[in-house]
Amino acid sequence: MSSSKKLTLKRLLIYLVLAFVPFYIIIPAMWSYFGEPVFICEDAVVAVYCFGVFGMMIPSFAHLITRLVTKEGFKNSFLGAYFKGKMGYWTASVIVPIGYSAVIAVLVWELYMDGVSFSDAFGNIGLQSAGILLIQIAYSVICFFPAFGEEWGWRGYMMPKLMELMPKPLAVLVGGVLWGLWHAPLTVAGHNFGVDYPGYPFVGIGMMCLMCTALNAFLTLLTERTKSVYPAAFTHALNNNINMTIWFLLFGSETAVEKLNGVTKFSLFLPMICVTAVGGIICFALLMKKEKPESAELDKAA
Amino acid sequence: MSGLLYKNFRLNLASMIFSLITAAFCCLTMLLVCLFAFVLPGKTPEADDMQSLTFGFAACYFLAFWLPSMASSTLFQVDESKTCCAFAMSLPQGAKGHVEAKYYYILILNLSIMFITFVSDTVTAMMTGGMTDNTLVIVLLFALVLLLSAIEIPFMIRFGSQRGMAIKGAVVGGIIIFALLYLLFGDMSWLLESDNDPLTALMEWLQSGDMVFWLSLFPYVSVIAYYLSCRISVKIYRKGAENYEQ
């Protein structure tokens, strides 16, 4: 291994330790304090807020500290914004997460709502629901901050380092798994699927790794092509804020919402995995394609 | 562009620090209120407290966004001379880069204020056990400030910062007068004949029927207006520069 690769590996390890350790200490500590998994504990509202906003900023702090400690400087920190010839990616960063959440909602209807026709399931289509959806999308602007907190760490630091160390396809896989494992304490504490599903908690952690790998392909594609971390942060914010449930709550009929309440969180995750996996494969293929010559110029500018 | 942005931040450092401190101070007020009213006595807010809390938060966040926007004229004052304009136009980025950098500066400043208010709102939500959530108010205030900047900046560039500020004042004054006239002479039956208090009735009216849809367009209109304002300002920059005194 060359000395530059050794240095990259050292920096990456420092970053990973700084990003992983706080979560792996705080969540078990809170669990022991409240006496039950944090995300199913009714008294742990403070913890939920704390993780939802400040926890997501840990990777950014890890990124910042790593750069300062290793005296790396702030070259290639993906903090610039370049629009020329990249508007497609910027637009995709907003449209794609909204689009796939709608597709997931349709898939949920198809899979779990036997005997309910599409028009019966989504019978509440009107200006009022559309208005609330638009407000919800605008509200995602504020979710941008915590999302940026994660993206500047994972896509802005970890992925470029991984791509220096290994071939791109492997880097996307390893990066996705690492990102999924970072969520492991949350998954164990009942964040995504609750705690009562078959194979708890390992199946949940595996599902999270799978979804993170698929999403990682898209987010890495956005970051790499725009040389900026902001489109990925927009996507992440919308992904967290506009989920499939929103479509049912806004446009779904009472019958559809009732049926949805009967489906476990874990089952709802399956169509989500399918859609993100298909999207991930497409992005993976796009990521492997060679960049246009102007991207190299952009790289230089970045 | 980064150089021009740096120039704006460097020349307006005092104004920027003032803006951020003002925003932080406004947020700190609400944090202290929550600390002394709920955290230290170990209470959680009750339904009666919610109305005054929501109003208090909205007022503090409004001030956090509004007070810094009052100082926006200094951003343009520092470059208001023929020498500066000639130099800006001679740069590789030209007038376009010069004007766009101003818009980016205002956007970054408002995003920073939004971040401060968002962090404060999260902490207060933690203090009140999740009973308060004013993030939507913050987003709407951000959109309002962008919209007002979108109206104000082209006038500042075309006629100078003082007149720009006067026009902004006139727009805000006009809105207030219109609202007052409506309150005095308009049809207020929906508010007066309601069984609830005026604030609840107003919220119900805003959430009723298609009103939500038209309101939801507001943040998008603000962003589009800000973009168009930037394009207009780039076009009129040269004409405005000819009017500067030196």
| SS3 assignment for chain A | CCHHHHHHHHHHHHHHHHHHHHHHHHHHHHHHHHCCCHHHCCCCHHHHHHHHHHHHHHHHHHHHHHHHHCCCCCCCCCCCCCCCCCHHHHHHHHHHHHHHHHHHHHHHHHHHCCCCCHHHHCCCCCHHHHHHHHHHHHHHHHHHHHHHHHHHHHHHHHHHHHHHHCCHHHHHHHHHHHHHHHCHHHHHCCCCCCCCCCCCCHHHHHHHHHHHHHHHHHHHHHHHHHCCCHHHHHHHHHHHHCCHHHHHHHHCCHHHHHHHHCCCHHHHHHHHHHHHHHHHHHHHHHHHCCCCHHHHHHHHHC
Is residue B219 within 8 angstroms of chain A, CB to CB?
yes
B135 and chain A in contact, CB less than 8 A:
yes
Classify B209 in phi/psi space as left (phi over 0), alpha (psi -120 to 50) or beta.
left
B interface test, pick of A61, A140, A142, A234 with most B CB neighbours within 10 Å: A142
Chain B closest CA to A167's CA: distance in Å? 33
Contacts of residue A134 in chain B, CB cutoff 8 Å? 213, 216-217, 220
- The residue written with tokens 């991207």 in the block is A295
Contacts of A130 in chain B (CB under 8 A): 213, 216
Which tokens sit at A246? 């929103």
B51-94 pLDDT tens trace: 778 888 888 898 888 887 777 777 887 777 778 888 888 888 88
Return the H-helix or E-strand segment holding B80. none
Closest CA to A111 of A243, A213, A264: A264
Closest approach of A91 to chain B, Cα-based (Å): 15
Say yes or no to pLDDT of A193 above 70.
yes
B224 interfacial to chain A (CB closer than 8 Å): no
Please report, in angstroms and rounded to a whole number, the separation of the first and last CA atoms in chain B. Answer: 26
Alpha-carbon distance A136 to A251, whole Å?
Answer: 13
State the pLDDT at residue B74: 78
Among A53, A134, A142, the residue with its CB nearest the CB of B216 is A134
The whole-angstrom distance between A30's CA and the closest CA on chain B is 15
Q: In this predicted model, which residue has the larger pLDDT, B187 or A150?
A: A150
Size of interface A-B (CB pairs under 8 A): 67
Task: Identify the closest residue of chain A to B211 by CA–CA distance.
Answer: A128
How much is the ipTM here?
0.84
Enumerate the residues of chain A whose CB falls inside 8 A of the CB of residue B65: none
Calculate the alpha carbon distances from B211 to A88, A122, A123, A129, B206 in Å.
33, 21, 20, 11, 6
Q: What is the average pLDDT score of chain A?
A: 87
Would the CB atoms of A139 and B130 count as touching at under 8 Å? Answer: no
Q: Do B210 and A141 touch (CB under 8 A)?
A: no
Over residues A22-35, the mean pLDDT reads 86
Domain boundaries, chain B: 2-243
Phi, psi (rounded to 5 degrees) for A86: -120, 10
> Which of A141, A143, A145 would best serve as a mutation to test chain B binding (most B beta carbons within 10 A)?
A141
Q: Is the pLDDT of residue A300 over 60?
A: no
pLDDT of residue B33: 87
Nearest-by-CA chain B residue for A126:
B210
Average pLDDT over residues A212-236: 93
| Mean pLDDT taken over chain B | 83
Q: What percent of chain B clears pLDDT 70, i.e. is strictly above it?
A: 92
**Hey, are the CB atoms on A138 and B139 less than 8 Å from each other?**
yes
The Cα of B154 is separated from the nearest Cα of chain A by a number of Å equal to 23
Q: For position A11, what pLDDT does the model report?
A: 94
Q: Which two tokens stand for residue A77?
A: 């920190």
CA distance B123 to B129: 10
Whether A145 and B139 lie within 8 Å, measured CB to CB:
no
Q: What is the pLDDT of residues B218-236, one digit of tens each?
A: 999 999 999 999 999 988 8
The 3-state DSSP composition of chain B as helix, strand, coil percent (nearest 5) reads 85, 0, 15
Of B122, B138, B210, nearest to A49 by CB-CB distance is B122
Q: Is the model's pTM score more than 0.90?
A: no
Per-residue pLDDT, B38 = 83
Inspect the interface and report whether the beta carbons of B119 and A53 lie closer than 8 Å: yes
- Report percent pLDDT > 90 for chain A: 41
Mean pLDDT over A186-192 rounds to: 87
Q: Would you say B19 and B68 are in contact if contact means Cβ atoms under 8 Å apart?
A: yes
CB distance A139–B136 less than 8 Å? Answer: yes
Who wins on pLDDT, B158 or B210? B158
> Per residue in A38-67, pLDDT tens?
887 777 777 777 777 888 999 999 999 999
Q: What per-residue confidence (pLDDT) applies to B198?
A: 67
- What confidence score (pLDDT) does residue A162 get? 94
Q: What pLDDT, on the 0 to 100 scale, is given for residue A294?
A: 58
pLDDT of residue B207: 67
- As a whole-number percent, the residues of chain B with pLDDT over 90 amount to 17
**Band (A301; pLDDT cuts 50, 70, 90):** low
- Tell me which chain B residues have a C-beta less than 8 angstroms from the C-beta of A145: 114-115, 118
pLDDT-derived band of residue A8, with 50, 70 and 90 as boundaries? very high
Sign of the four-CA dihedral A237, B27, A64, B13: positive
Summarised one tens digit per residue, pLDDT across range A238-263 is 998 888 888 888 888 888 888 888 88
B216–A130 C-beta distance less than 8 A: yes
pLDDT single digits (tens) B118-172: 999 988 888 887 788 888 889 989 999 999 889 888 888 888 878 777 887 888 8
Least Cα distance to A296 among A224, A216, A218, A223 occurs for A224
**pLDDT of B142:** 92
Residues 92-131 of B with CB under 8 A from A: 114-115, 118-119, 122, 125-126, 129-130
Q: What pLDDT does B215 receive?
A: 84
Picking from B126, B138, B213, the nearest residue to A142 by CB comes out as B138
Using a CB–CB cutoff of 8 Å, tell me whether B138 touches chain A.
yes
Pick from A45, A127, A145: CB nearest B129:
A45
Show me where the domains of chain A are located: 3-301
pLDDT at B110: 92
Query: pLDDT of A101-134, one tens digit each?
Result: 999 999 998 888 888 888 888 887 888 888 888 8
Tens-digit pLDDT profile for residues A156-179 = 999 999 999 999 989 999 999 999
Nearest to A128 among B210, B219, B220 (CB): B210
User: Which of B126, B203, B217, B223 to mutate: most A Cβ within 10 Å?
Assistant: B126
Cβ of A49 and B212 within 8 Å? no
